Amino acid sequence: MAPPLHPRSAPARRALRPTLLACRQIDAVDDALGRALVGADFDPARHRSLGLVTVDQDDSTYIALDEATKHAPVDVVFARSFYAGSRHASGPYSGEILGVLAGADPDHVAAGLWVVKEHLATAVAFETFAGEPWTSKDGP
């Protein structure tokens, strides 16, 4: 068994940032389209504008969508992970997501989308160690 690493010799950590794949805004959504996209959570009286995002890390995106509701008058009306047809993620960082924000005003939705983009770029990420991955053969 290898001796334990001294804290100063531990591998450096690096962030695995999510990638925003698409970001679109519908300023004035038709009621029928809103219900078709969102379902029962669509409220035409409160949700006149929609913002859609797709990202390659679902966990990070759920956090960013929640953060948007704290900084802009928007609701998360849809958020679902997709695993390329599988029932579960194929790896620890996988899982694409479609998230939809809704608000009464296009400016509110634009503000919510800005928060999502900023949070994904600066605040949330997975972390890994630089270099070769650790295996069970390396020690306990």
Domains of the chain: 14-87+95-121 (3.30.70.1710)
Q: Can you tell me the distance from the alpha carbon of 83 to that of 77, in angstroms, rounded to the nearest whole number?
A: 20
C-alpha neighbours within 13 Å on the C-beta side of residue 78: 22
Please name the residues in contact with 78: beta carbons below 8 A apart, sequence gap of 6 or more. 37, 38, 39, 41, 98, 99, 100
Token pair of 29 as six digits: 């959504």
> So what's the pLDDT on residue 135?
56
Whether the per-residue pLDDT at 53 is higher than 90: the answer is yes
Whether the per-residue pLDDT at 118 is higher than 60: the answer is yes
Q: Can you tell me the distance from the alpha carbon of 27 to that of 103, in angstroms, rounded to the nearest whole number?
A: 10
Whether the per-residue pLDDT at 95 is higher than 80: the answer is no
Helix then strand count (H, E) for the chain reads 3, 6
DSSP state for residue 113 in the 8-state scheme: H
Beta strands in the chain (DSSP E): 13-16, 20-26, 49-55, 74-82, 96-103, 126-129
pLDDT band at 34 (very low <50, low <70, confident <90, very high): very high
Whether the per-residue pLDDT at 136 is higher than 90: the answer is no
Arithmetic mean of pLDDT, 94-118 = 95
Percent of the chain past pLDDT 70, that is, above it, reads 76
Whether the per-residue pLDDT at 19 is higher than 60: the answer is yes
